[in-house]
Amino acid sequence: MQTETIIREQQNIFQKTARQYEKAYMNWIYRIGMLLVGFPFQILVFLVFLYKKYVKHQNGQVSSKAEQLLKAEGYDQSLRERLRAQEESKQAFFNKRLSEKETEKKVDQLFEKQFQEAVDARAQELFMQSGREKITFLKQTTNFIADPKYFVLSVLLGFPMYLLLMIHAFPFMKYLFERLLMMVFVILGVTVVVFTLLYFSPSDPARNIIGETATQAQIDNFRGMYGLDDPYIVQLGRTIKGVFSFDLGNAYSGNQAVVSTIMRRFPVTLELSIYALIIALVVALPAGIYSAVKANTTFDHVFMFIALIGLSIPSFWQGLIFILTFSIELGWLPATYNAANAASLIMPSVVLGTLLMASVARMTRSSTLEVINEDYILTARSKGLSNRRVILKHAVPNALIPIVTIIGLQFGGVLGGAAVTEQVFNINGIGRYIVDRQFIPDIPSVLGGVIYIAIVLSVVNVFVDMLYALIDPRIRTNLKRY
């Protein structure tokens, strides 16, 4: 009894796997993916499918039995007589008599075609009556997966296919996988567009780097060294290959590896972005919530005016004012960045955090103000809950979606490189690197920087979307349905 139960459970697992495959197969992206990663297994299924469809079912026992039944019923004789009568009537109508041999030849041609159609129709009828369904490629695949004997073979031949099925089975993994796949296409599109713009730019990298006094031989040598004399398609293909192999070559100026240079500059940009985000959130979230609760009061008007000023102040002007005040006049903070001195990050973090702070504060106020006027907030107040509890437990969690969105967008932009702030405070970050290189134009360096920004923005957006699911249970439910 226990053995039978184990066997039934195993069969249920195989059948569930087959149903999951069928569900994933309905999505063209996963269909192509499973055909590619499970190619050996798919080839085996395809060969069996062809055998059953074209050998076993069309030329096998069912067709022979259908032909025998039609002949036993006298269908072949009646069909031949009917076709002969139709042919004779046709000849009489057009007054065009043919010889007996020609008439018989025409009748034979019509008979072969129509009798074969009748045999196929009767074979299909017998096939359906036998309780067996029509074999398709998908059905043949699911039959293999549902059969324990062939399941092991399918795992051996197409193990990556089952990893893809596992991803499809879990909503969060499926969503994350699709977003990462979309990120690949975004990076590919960005690469093509940016490379095309740089390629057709009127500026000549060879002459800009070597100088106007360079001879034609020196320019030709430079072009040959970096492959600039190759056709557009060749250079684009080489660039796309370098993007996906993490090898964008060396920069035209300085001859340093582009990927290594970006990785060397990334930590300081990340550190600066995190400090700026912390400063912004510590000030903006409480102030924005309080401003919404105290809407149209003096605090609200003053705070919104300050936030508007924060949005309007140019970063370079604010940075210069900070240097003049806190470095030159007061001598409290260093004017330029120094990796060994943590205090040198205070002013650039505040400058970057000012813009973040103003945007997040305004969005927090707007979103919270919209939520506290909803009916369920009025219901919570009517139950006698304190104002603090209503705001923190009911209003703020429901107002977080747009706030998280603006935080993600702003942080992604800062992490992509704050060129002006980095230039003012002499920080060797990503933003400054991209700006300096685009005036050459140093194609590998600019491409590397732009692709880095595309990756950062895509990753931040995916992370924000995952936060949505953690914040809002309705989104979790939609993801499971999705």
The closest alpha carbon to 351, from 285, 281, 420, belongs to: 420
Per DSSP, the residues of 114-171 read HHHHHHHHHHHHHHHHTTPPPP-HHHHHHHHHHSHHHHHHHHHH-HHHHHHHHHHHSH
> Could you count the other beta carbons within 10 Å of the beta carbon of residue 303?
19
pLDDT one digit per residue (tens) for the chain, 482 residues: 445 555 555 557 778 888 888 888 888 788 888 888 888 888 888 888 777 766 554 445 666 777 777 777 788 888 888 888 887 888 777 777 777 778 788 878 888 888 788 877 777 676 665 545 556 778 888 888 887 778 888 888 888 888 888 888 877 788 788 888 888 888 888 888 888 887 787 777 777 777 777 777 877 787 777 777 788 888 888 888 888 887 777 777 777 788 888 888 888 888 888 888 888 888 888 888 888 888 788 887 888 888 888 777 777 788 888 888 888 888 888 887 777 777 888 888 888 888 888 888 888 888 888 888 777 777 777 777 777 777 777 777 778 888 888 888 888 777 766 777 887 887 887 877 877 777 666 778 888 888 888 888 888 888 888 787 777 777 766 666 65
Residues 360, 406 contacting (CB under 8 angstroms): yes
Output the CATH code of domain 258-439: 1.10.3720.10
Report the b/e string of 397-413 with b at 16+ CB within 10 A. Answer: ebbbeebbbbbbebbbb
Q: Domain limits of the chain?
A: 2-169, 258-439
User: Cis omega (within 30 of 0) on the bond before 231?
Assistant: no
CA 371/CA 240 separation, integer angstroms: 47
Q: What is the pLDDT of residue 1?
A: 47
Quickly tell me which residue has 């001598």 as its tokens: 331
Quickly tell me which residue has 């603006």 as its tokens: 406
- Give the long-range contacts of residues 317-326, CB within 8 A, separation 24 or more: 318/351, 318/354, 319/347, 319/348, 319/351, 319/420, 319/421, 319/424, 319/425, 320/424, 322/347, 322/350, 322/351, 323/347, 323/424, 323/425
- Give the long-range contacts of residues 335-340, CB within 8 A, separation 24 or more: 335/425, 336/425, 336/426, 337/268, 337/425, 337/426, 337/427, 337/428, 339/268
Which residues, other chains included, contact 444 with Cβ-Cβ below 8 Å and sequence gap of 6+?
248, 249, 250, 251, 252, 258
CA 347/CA 325 separation, integer angstroms: 11
- pLDDT (tens digit, 9 = 90+) per residue, 156-187? 888 888 888 888 887 778 878 888 888 888 88
Residues 135, 53 contacting (CB under 8 angstroms): yes
| Alpha carbon separation from 164 to 31, 33, 60, 389 (Å, rounded) | 10, 8, 37, 45
pTM across the whole model: 0.65
Q: What is the pLDDT of residue 437?
A: 77
Kindly give the residue spans of alpha helices, DSSP state H, lying in 215-257. Answer: 216-226, 232-244
Q: What is the pLDDT of residue 97?
A: 75
CA 397/CA 393 separation, integer angstroms: 7
Residue 397 DSSP label: H
